[in-house]
Amino acid sequence: MEDLSQLQLSEEDIKSLKETFYQQAVELIESLVQETLSLEGSKDIGSKLKTIKRIFHTLKGDSASIGLKELSHLTHRAEDLIQAVENKSVDMDGDVTDILLRIADCMSGAIDASRTGKETPITAVMMGAIDDFFKASGTGFQPVMTGKMPVPLEHSLSEYEKLLLSDFRRQEKNIYIATLWFSKDCQMKSAGAVIISQHLPCLGDVIKVHPPLDSSEVESVDTIGLLIASAMARDDVKNLCNIPGVIGDVAIEELREEGGLAVVSNDIAESTRASAKIAAASPTGTIRVESEKVDQIMNLVGELIVGRSMIEQLLSEFEERFPREELISRFAYANSFIERSLSDLQRSVMKVRMLPIDRVFKRFPRVVRDLAKASNKDVRLVIHGEDTEVDKGLVDVIGEPLIHIVRNAIDHGIETVEEREASGKDRQGIIALEAYHQGNDIVIEVRDDGRGIDPKRLKEKVLEKGLISQEELEKIDDKAAIDFIFLPGFSTAKVVSEVSGRGVGMDVVKAVVEGLRGSVNIKTEAGRGTTFVLRFPLTLAIIKAILFNAGERLLAIPLGSVKEITRVFTKDVELVAGREVLRMRESVIPLVRLDEAMNLGSAGRKRSKLFVIIVSNGDRDIGIAVNKLLGEEELFIKAINDRWVSTNIVGGASILGDGKVVLILNVDAIIKKASGVKISNF
């Protein structure tokens, strides 16, 4: 593969090629981490090592082609490590997994450095670490030398050499490209070249050698390239190329001709050719689109939805003003056609925005392994629902909150091996990640089978820190007390560790989840474990909502959070512990008057009847008293600046067809307020 500098490309072309490499390299490194982690306990180690070697080989060639020679050398050295494991020169154990993961981290860092134009010495350090690993293993395995590679022989043949190649093909001989690396023990490469030249007749008919074995160039290279025609099998040729003390390693590739084209036939080429055939057979294929472009299209769809609302508003006014006008029916038909087309466009764009949650989940085998090792615990990760599709906006930001939850689960939840055995549990703890659709929501659960959360201990801690008074604490039940873990700076850890205990994390989880208009609830049982349930709307951009008035303010609640709407007499509202509640079907539901909660006045107190919207976050139900219901509307959500709204009850805003601004409420924040748990500023 030619270096970019040798090609006649514009700067824009080179930039585009590099960006394509960066994107593909990130995906390859993610696959490398997954395959490496799956080595531990696998019954098919040989196949997985083969896949890892392919990844390294692809990264080596691609990085060399864009001028990242240090990264290419590192991947070449990593191939040596895999070869040593395949040859059983190095035992496949946890130490091999560790160094492969370090190599993946190093490659990722080198790519980031190249992308941002920074220089980094990490590749050289990592290559030294690989050499140290070989020395510590005591195998005597000698890594393959890296250095100046030969010119691709099949692209540099003279007319005479091409005739020779064609003639040998007619004789049905195999055509091989052999790359010979000089051994470290070979102190004089020119003398080694003489030995190689004496050995060549054993291999078959030599078509080309580069560099020529009798040239002075031999001393300055690390490899010799051969183009050979032979009746022998590839492995036999490779074995004959191994000259002790002269050749340190050999790579053999078969050169075949398909449709008049020379094709390299090795494992990598076969995989590439298979992929190409699949792509050719599939007319749809896949294209890469920058996320910003998808966001721009989504914003335009949102603006079209606002425009559609304007047209509907105008149509309604025309019908009232000119009830007998013939053109109105034609106008209504055109409007319904636009509405159907826009709905189809919206669904199509939403599908483009949807990505499998696996893009987030596949980070966690490595995370759990590292955290368990740091905590000296035995933990197994179980993943379900990795194919569940979620909004791109959720994929971009949900990873860190989930890591915080998993970190706390391993450090606080999962017991040590000794504690688990003493309590009759399996010595290996389990962390489970699961994603699924439920109605109009995406639900992500993080479960552990550890010791659970003790609400009494939480109450003691929060009282000790002075975060709540004894009088307020007595009014809070154990279920509500669990939410104290979301207080900033709150921690029950007795010892500060590298994993947790500094009181940083769970408040961040809550802030991020609520920033995505989601909710987080906790289910826990002493001695059995804890489950965090994160619930998000299916889409983060467009929602269906119920519109209503509270005071003189126009407000909306996402339809997916609404369980029912009812109307009650004011006299039916009861007081329990100083709070208003409703009794509905043998259950007691807290009542929130939005006009008072948001300082919009208290006109609702003068009414004999109230409209009540019953909402739920999957764990708790509350009733929201409103002045007037205005119906259902599809809204395009806009983020709202904190300087305009100083309460987290409001999660966003939208514009209606008549130009009015509607505030969209955060149901989870309202439920938290109704529960009386003071863990937020309202």
- DSSP string covering 373-433: HHHT--EEEEEE-TT-EEEHHHHHHSHHHHHHHHHHIIIIISPPHHHHHHTT--SSEEEEE
Each residue's pLDDT tens digit, 426-472: 999 999 999 998 876 789 999 999 999 888 888 888 788 777 777 77
Helix/strand/coil for 195: helix
* Residue partners of 431: CB distance under 8 A and separation at least 6: 368, 379, 380, 381, 382, 406, 409, 410, 414, 446, 447, 448
Sign of CA pseudo-dihedral 541, 544, 549, 554:
positive
Mean pLDDT, rounded, for 27-49: 85
Task: Determine the average pLDDT of the residues in 600-622.
Answer: 74
User: Per-residue pLDDT averaged across 361-386, rounded?
Assistant: 89
Q: Check whether 149 has a pLDDT greater than 60.
A: no
Closest CA to 208 of 194, 228, 233, 222: 228
Q: Are 175 and 229 in contact (CB under 8 A)?
A: yes
Whether 392 shows a pLDDT value over 90: the answer reads no
Strands 519-525 and 529-537 turn out to be antiparallel
Report the C-alpha gap between 672 and 554 in whole angstroms.
Answer: 22
Confidence of residue 266 (pLDDT cuts 50, 70, 90): very low
pLDDT at residue 641, as a whole number:
58
Averaged pLDDT, 514-521:
81
The residue ranking higher by pLDDT, 143 or 437, is 437
Q: How confident is the model at residue 420 (pLDDT cuts 50, 70, 90)?
A: very high
pLDDT at 264 > cutoff 60: no
Q: Is a pLDDT exceeding 90 seen at residue 44?
A: no
Q: Read off the tokens for 89.
A: 């020169």
Q: Tell me what percent of the residues of the chain surpass a pLDDT of 90.
A: 8
**pLDDT tens digit string along 91-128?**
788 888 888 988 888 888 888 888 877 765 567 778 77
pLDDT at 160: 63
Q: Between these two residues, 233 and 640, which has the higher pLDDT value? A: 233
Give the containing element (helix H, strand E) for 522.
strand 519-525
End-to-end CA distance of the chain: 62
Tell me if 174 sits within 8 A of 180, measured CB to CB: no
What does the pLDDT average to over 338-348? Answer: 82
Question: Is pLDDT of 503 > 70?
Answer: no
* pLDDT average, residue stretch 246-271: 58
Q: Please give the Cα distance from 542 to 299 (Å, whole number).
A: 10
Strands 661-665 and 553-558: parallel
Q: How far apart are CA 134 and CA 138, in angstroms?
A: 7
Confidence (pLDDT) at 541: 65
Please determine, for residue 492, whether its predicted confidence score (pLDDT) is greater than 60: no
What is the tens place of the pLDDT at every residue in 48-86? Answer: 888 888 888 888 877 877 778 788 888 888 888 888 888
Q: Is the pLDDT of residue 276 over 50?
A: no
Q: Classify the C-alpha dihedral 421-426-431-434 as positive or negative.
A: negative
Mean pLDDT of the chain: 77
Three-state DSSP state, 561: helix
| Selection from 552, 553, 548, 522 nearest residue 535 by Cα | 522
- CB distance 457 to 492 below 8 Å: yes
Q: What is the mean pLDDT of residues 312-330?
A: 84
| 567-606 residue pLDDT tens | 888 888 888 777 788 888 778 888 888 777 777 665 556 6
CB 509 within 8 A of CB 405: yes
- Categorize the per-residue pLDDT at 159 as very low, low, confident or very high, splitting at 50, 70 and 90: low
Which one has a higher pLDDT value, 125 or 613? 613
**Distances from the Cα of 434 to the Cαs of 402, 437, 443, 534, in angstroms?**
11, 11, 8, 10
**Residue 415: both structure tokens together:** 């017991």
534 - beta bridge partners?
Answer: 444, 520
Q: What is the pTM of this model?
A: 0.60
Query: Residue for token digits 């093909």?
Result: 169
Which has more confidence, 460 or 492?
Answer: 460
Report the alpha-carbon distance of residue 475 to residue 677 in Å, rounded.
9
Out of 210-219, 262-271, 315-324, give the one with best mean pLDDT: 315-324
pLDDT above 50 (res 234): yes
Cα atoms in the 13 Å half-sphere on the side-chain side of 308:
21
Q: Which helix (H) or strand (E) holds 102?
A: helix 94-116
Give the rounded distance of the alpha carbon of 57 from its chain centre: 24
